[in-house]
Amino acid sequence: MFSKLTLLTPEEQEKIHQTTLKLLEEVGVVIGSEAVRDMLAKQGAKVIGENVRFPKEMVEEMLRHSVHSFPLGAFNEKDRLTVPSVTHPFTTTAGYVPYVYDEATGKNRYATTEDLRQLCIIADYMDEMDCFWPLMLPGEYHGELQEFKATEIALRNMGKNIQCSSASGELARYQIELGRAVAGGSEAFRENPVLSLLSAPTTPLAVEHGIADAIVESAKAGVPILPMSLPQMSTTSPATFAADTLLVNAENLACHMIARCADENARVFYSSDAGAPNLFDAGIDYENCEYVMLSAADCDMARYYDLPTAMGCSVEYKDFSTKAGFERNVFRCALKLLTRVDVACWVGTRESCLSSSLIDVILDLEVCRQAMAYFRNFEVNDETLALDVIAERGPRGNYLDHEHTFKHFRESIFTSKAENCYLFAEGYENHRKVAQEKIDGILAGHAAPTYDEALVAELDRITASAEAHLANE
């Protein structure tokens, strides 16, 4: 017994699947990498210039042999995960944001390496953070080197699974080299992939040169891959739920084809961050109801294929100034996570993913902790049905003093209330001050993972090589 938000009927899922097969076979996908196109052609795809079309039989064969479960490794043994989750949606930060909100000035500034390092320490400490996407871009760097440095900083400063974006094959190779060093070698990394890589297609229906190459490199190394599809209704997708879901499905299956043709054991999420823009300015809008509903549809399609999911679930414009506001934050978070996504990418963002702050991360994680009450699994068996107890007390009975109540009430009734939350110990108006005090305590008392001298030296070597090669990209 557990709660779940769905949108598509089985018949609608089948219709989207069949239409996707037709789309991939007759319209195809632009793939910018010649090497990847050649690889796909050798395995049955039809290549016309940059356009790649996948025969129905080729896609169906890939789906029959997809990898349905895989590990999300971590340096800390206690933080190692497996997807799909059988407990609750795993929480991670969103990424990447260029700005940090400065509490002292009330203005945004460029994020720095130190901002990201501190965030890593906090994320490593907080139990509510299951894995970690380097939310803040280290502003001292640019281009692919910026993505590499985000990966390096995260791996050096926390022991949970690190999820980073990767925009080229060369960048992916350096990121994978870091991950292998931390895991203890290539085979150890396959068993415990401490690094996941996001390489997103360009909606509609394009996988750019570097992205395609990065997917191939990730697949060969055993890296869990997030091909996050981001169609926006009416701009990069036709203005219907069905068409948006179709594009997400087609782009995910195309990326699966690339990964599976590179390695038959490729580990690939079904991943999206689809939505509908604010039609007044065409900007991303994480607050409209379509964002939740599209996530539900995409999770339905992932379950149709029995694939692990990683979805954007951003919750912004939060009100912590009243008890009602805080409880609304919790409910909105729960509503988005009720799609039962396996990895939910959302913590810490502000201003449509343009900025963040350590305080906003702490606030979101407290919202997440409260929202997890909606994700408890309840068994239905003779003990929990309690027919004997009901029969004993009979009509008009009362169960308050029954031993069955004392045995089960703590697991069945969530007793944590907003007024008891530590954030509001000094009143709702001081919640950011209390959050900052918690941050100060974590930074003072929690240390990054301890690596031996040989591993530190190897990370230094890889970093020096990457900086020399990626700085000119």
Q: Residue 271: which residues within 8 A CB-CB, separation 6 or more?
A: 198, 226, 227, 228, 229, 252, 309, 310, 311
Helix (H/G/I), strand (E/B), else coil: 119:
helix
Question: According to CATH, what is the number of the domain 64-376+456-469?
Answer: 3.20.20.480
pTM: 0.94
> Based on the number of CB atoms within 10 Å of its own CB, is 292 exposed (0-12), middle (13-18) or buried (19 or more)?
buried
Instruction: State how far Cα 243 lies from the chain centre.
Output: 23
Q: Domain map of the chain by residue range?
A: 64-376+456-469, 382-412
pLDDT tens sequence for the chain (473 residues): 678 899 999 999 999 999 999 999 999 999 999 999 999 999 999 999 999 999 999 999 999 999 999 999 999 999 999 999 999 999 999 878 999 999 999 999 999 999 999 999 999 999 999 999 999 999 999 999 999 999 999 999 999 999 999 999 999 999 999 999 999 999 999 999 999 999 999 999 999 999 999 999 999 999 999 999 999 999 999 999 999 999 999 999 999 999 999 999 999 999 999 999 888 887 778 888 899 999 999 999 999 999 999 999 888 878 999 999 999 999 999 999 999 999 999 999 998 889 999 999 999 999 999 999 999 889 999 999 999 999 999 999 999 999 999 999 999 998 887 888 999 989 999 999 999 999 999 999 999 899 999 999 999 999 999 999 998 75
The residue with tokens 């789906």 is 63
- What whole-number distance in Å separates Cα of residue 15 and Cα of residue 21? 10
